[in-house]
A and B are shown apart, each in its own frame.
Chain A
Amino acid sequence: MKRTIAYLSLLFILGVLLYIANPNYGLVFGPGGKEWLALRYTDNYYIQHGVQEVGGMNIVTDIVFDYRGYDTIGEATVLFTAIAGAIALLRPWRRDEA
């Protein structure tokens, strides 16, 4: 019973996502020309001003380390946390002293 409801709701979610994946109702794939400027104006800005504002020739690294460098610190922290957590959980068991 529960399982049936779960599969049905998954099916529903899939249907909704397919619906909005249709360019007529939802997301546009591969926008170009006017649509590019309307939907990807931020990307356009990075491409136009990235070299002059940041100085790197690689736009992706310009974004990842300058414009959105704070997110990269966050990602590094995620990695650090994951390692700390994995080491913490894989440590030897505490001896039965008490």
Chain B
Amino acid sequence: MNGHEILPYLIIIPLFGAFSMPIVNLLGRKAREAWAVIITGATLAVGSALFYSVWENGILVYTLGAKSPLGQANFPIRIVWEVDLFGAIMVLMVTLVGFLAVVYSLGYMKHDTGLDKYYTLIIILELGMLGIAITGDLFNFYVFLEIMSIASYALVAFRNDTWEGIEAGIKYMFVGSIASSFILLGIALLYGQYGTLTMSYLAVKLAQNPTVTAKVALALFIAGLLFKSGASPVHMWLADAHPAAPSSISAMLSGLVIKIGGIYALTRILFSIYGHSVSMKTVGWVIIIFACITLIVGNAMAVIQNDMKRLLAYSSVGQIGYILLGLGIGLAAYGSQTGEIAMAGAIYHTFNHALMKALLSLIAGVVIHQLGTRDLNELSGLAKTMPKTTFAFLIGAAAIIGMPPLNGFASKWLIYESSAIFNPILGAIAIIGTAFCTAAYVKVLYTFFGRPNERVMKARDPEGSMLWPIIILAVAIVVMGLFPWQISDKVMIPAVKALENQLAYISAVLGGA
């Protein structure tokens, strides 16, 4: 199938689904749920077809409103979509986890009110992330970042009768809006200096004339996007927002939002726009420093938590540290094989962590749904009464620690290996982070396999719509774990090669495509 024909449907389908949801809602509860599942399922189909197409044929450029982005000039005047392999991996990840989260909400959100708004917002959240992943225009990136952010503010505070939901929502909204305005200011500065908003043409202009303004804009971008990705020392909103959100939403927040809005955007801006016009080494080390703080703080804070979802949230911060470490080394060792491996590890870990953290968050949701508590001290002996759920949690926890037969091993190995080659101290820090991470998850598992608490005795495994997404994610983790190096060689390394090849990214748009 031709990628050009299917790419627009990646936006059209969720947009149509979200805007038609208030009308479909008039037909009743069943129609609304079926509609949400159909829309996200169709998006998943389009996303996988797109991934396959980009994987086969390389970079895909699509101009909105014309055949060519150039018009009668030699610079782009229209908005372009530009999907390289990295973007396609993100699209696949978003559509997959988004679909599973919607299916899971059928059972999980049953007792809540206002569900028409809920499904509208969750589809818009997915739409915003897809828009970020495929765009090749800097202002358009901002618009979709805002769509994603506003939908996630509303979804974090969705349970408006709980104090923590509202508190976390307010915190997240204030911090997130400031971070977004940093990004907007950076875009305004770049536009004022260079007069274009297309990423690839901006890269050309930047290479011709690197100015102080561009560096200030880059600093604003890095600051804003580190906020969005939940890097330390600005991770505090995350530790409140993710536990307070409904579990289907924390699966999407932990698994997707912090990566698309943070890691993906940062990578795209650093590699594809700033490419060779700033010192990659300096920027790389800035990212590495934040990565090391994030690694230690996130994982160490995860160990001391008693609240199950808060533990998972801090663990997300810790795992973002690994991804940032890979990204930082990929920049600092740009062009060498070490950098390539580190970046491949970062992309691989992004995908893997989306699956693992979605799985763990969904399981946390099941536990809360069954027992009504998130306190780990009250959850002992869950393995007796909820065997399937506990087993899935075991898989997820082993994968996130990086046990060899599961998918987390390969991605973490790539990051360890490259960091140890690049600088042994960084390797040691990564190992220390994993030690903390292991301690945190062993603590949870120890509780689950302990002596049954009386509260736990009446718990049961959840119904099908909540169990199937968990099973699918667990199977995906195991299957991906069986072919780690094949996936790495066939998908992740080519994705890094495409990302590092800035010239191809630029000429795909400017070459009169």
Report which A residues bind B (CB closer than 8 A). 16-17, 19-20, 25-28, 38-43, 45-46, 49, 53, 66-71, 73-75, 77-78, 80-82, 84-94, 97-98
B432 close to A (CB within 8 Å): no
Main secondary structure of the interface of B (DSSP, over half): helix
B160 and A75 form a contact (CB under 8 A): no
Tell whether, in the assembled complex, residue B19 and residue A80 are in contact, meaning their CB atoms are under 8 Å apart: yes
| A26-B213, A69-B65 known; A41 vs B19 contact (CB < 8 Å) | no
Q: Is B111 a contact of A49 with CB atoms below 8 Å?
A: no
Count of inter-chain pairs, beta carbons less than 8 A: 130
- Establish whether residues B117 and A81, one from each chain, have CB atoms under 8 Å apart when the complex forms: no
CA A18 to CA B222, docked complex, whole Å:
20
Is B151 a contact of A85 with CB atoms below 8 Å? yes
Task: Give the nearest-CB partner of A79 in chain B.
Answer: B150
Contact status of A87 and B213, CB under 8 A, knowing A73-B15, A77-B147: no
Contact of A42 among B144, B189, B196 (CB under 8 A): B196
Give the residue of A39, A77, A88, A97 whose beta carbon is less than 8 angstroms from that of B114: A88
- 18 residue pairs bridging A and B, Cβ less than 8 Å apart: A26-B212, A40-B195, A42-B196, A42-B197, A45-B77, A70-B65, A70-B140, A74-B147, A77-B124, A78-B146, A84-B121, A85-B151, A85-B154, A85-B155, A88-B158, A94-B112, A94-B113, A98-B111
- Interfacial chain B residues near A20, Cβ < 8 Å: 189, 212-213, 216
Determine if A70 and B71 form an interchain contact, defined as CB atoms under 8 angstroms apart.
no
A41-B193 Cα distance, complex, nearest whole Å: 12
Given contacts A42-B196, A49-B72, A85-B153, 6 further A-B contacts (CB under 8 A): A26-B212, A43-B195, A46-B77, A66-B65, A93-B161, A94-B161
Contact of B195 (CB < 8 Å), options: A19, A39, A53, A82: A39
Q: Which residues of B contact A84 (CB under 8 A)?
A: 117, 120-121, 124, 154
Per-residue interface assignment for chain B, residues 190 to 234, with 1 indicating a CB less than 8 Å from any chain A CB and 0 otherwise: 001111110000000000000111001000000000000000000
Q: A15 CB to closest chain B CB, in angstroms?
A: 11
Q: Nearest chain-B residue to A97 (Cβ)?
A: B111
When the two chains form their complex, are residues A71 and B75 in contact, meaning their CB atoms are under 8 A apart?
no
Across-interface contacts of B118 in A (CB, < 8 A): 88
Contact A71 B124 (CB under 8 A): no
Give min CB distance, A81 to chain B, whole Å. 5
Q: Is the CB of B73 within 8 A of A45?
A: yes
**Nearest CB on B from A87, distance (A):** 6
Q: Which residues of B contact A45 (CB under 8 A)?
A: 71-73, 75, 77
Q: Which 3 A-B pairs have the closest CB atoms?
A: A85-B154, A74-B143, A88-B117
Which residues of the partner chain A approach B155 to less than 8 Å between Cβ atoms? 85
Q: Does B192 lie within 8 Å of A16, measured CB to CB?
A: no
B448 part of interface (Cβ distance < 8 Å)? no
Q: Which residue of B lies closest to A38 (CB)?
A: B195
User: Considering the chains assembled together, what is the distance between the CA atoms of A38 and B211 in angstroms?
Assistant: 15
Instruction: Check if B213 sits within 8 Å of A27, measured CB to CB.
Output: yes
- Expressed in whole angstroms, the minimum distance between the Cβ of A19 and any Cβ of chain B is 7
How many of B's residues come within 8 Å of A, CB to CB? 51
Residue B157 CB within 8 A of the other chain: yes
What residues of A have a CB within 8 angstroms of the CB of B111 in the complex? 94, 97-98
CB contact under 8 A between A25 and B212, given known A71-B143, A77-B18, A85-B121: yes
Give Cα distance in the complex from A27 to B216, angstroms: 12
B163-207 Cβ-contact flags toward A at 8 Å (1 or 0): 000000100000000000000000001001111110000000000
Cα(A25)–Cα(B154), bound, Å: 42
Residues of chain B whose beta carbon lies under 8 Å from any beta carbon of chain A:
15, 18-19, 64-65, 71-73, 75, 77-79, 111-114, 117-118, 120-121, 124, 127-128, 131, 139-140, 143-144, 146-147, 150-151, 153-155, 157-158, 160-161, 169, 189, 192-197, 211-213, 216
- In chain A, what residue has the closest Cβ to B143? A74
Contact B127–A77 (Cβ < 8 Å): yes
A78 with B114: in contact, given A42-B196, A88-B121 (CB under 8 Å)?
A: no
CB distance from A13 to the nearest CB of B (A): 9
Complexed CA–CA distance, A88 and B165 (Å): 13
Cα–Cα distance between A96 and B63 once the two chains are bound (Å): 52
Q: Which residues of A contact B121 (CB under 8 A)?
A: 81, 84-85, 88
Contact B158 A89 (CB under 8 A): yes
- Complexed CA–CA distance, A35 and B36 (Å): 51
The residues of A that contact B18 with a CB separation of less than 8 Å are: 77, 80
Contact (Cβ within 8 A) A53 B150: no
Q: Is the CB–CB distance between A91 and B160 below 8 Å?
A: yes
Pairwise interchain contact B113-A91, C-beta atoms closer than 8 A: yes
Our pick among A43, A71, A90, A91 for the contact of B79 (Cβ within 8 Å) is A71
Contact between B151 and A81, CB atoms less than 8 A apart: yes
A residues in contact with B151, CB < 8 Å: 81, 85
Q: What is the chain B residue whose CB lies nearest that of A96?
A: B161
**Chain B residues positioned under 8 Å from A69 (CB to CB):** 64-65
CA distance A87 to B118 in the complex (A): 10
How far is the CB of A54 from the nearest CB of chain B, in Å?
Answer: 10
Q: How far is the CA of A75 from the CA of B145 in the complex (A)?
A: 11
Min Cβ gap A56→B in Å is: 14
State how many angstroms separate the Cβ of B246 from the closest Cβ of chain A.
12
Cβ–Cβ contact B65 & A89, under 8 A:
no
* Residues of the A chain whose Cβ atoms lie less than 8 Å from the Cβ of B150: 78, 81-82, 85
Question: CA separation between A53 and B72, bound complex, in Å?
Answer: 10
Closest to B191 in A: A42
* Given A85-B154, A94-B113: A74 touches B71 (CB 8 Å cut-off): no
Contacts of B193 in A (CB 8 A): 26-27, 39
Q: Identify the closest chain A residue to B201 (Cβ).
A: A42
Are B79 and A68 in contact, CB atoms less than 8 angstroms apart? yes
- Whole-angstrom CA separation of A78 from B125 in the bound complex: 11
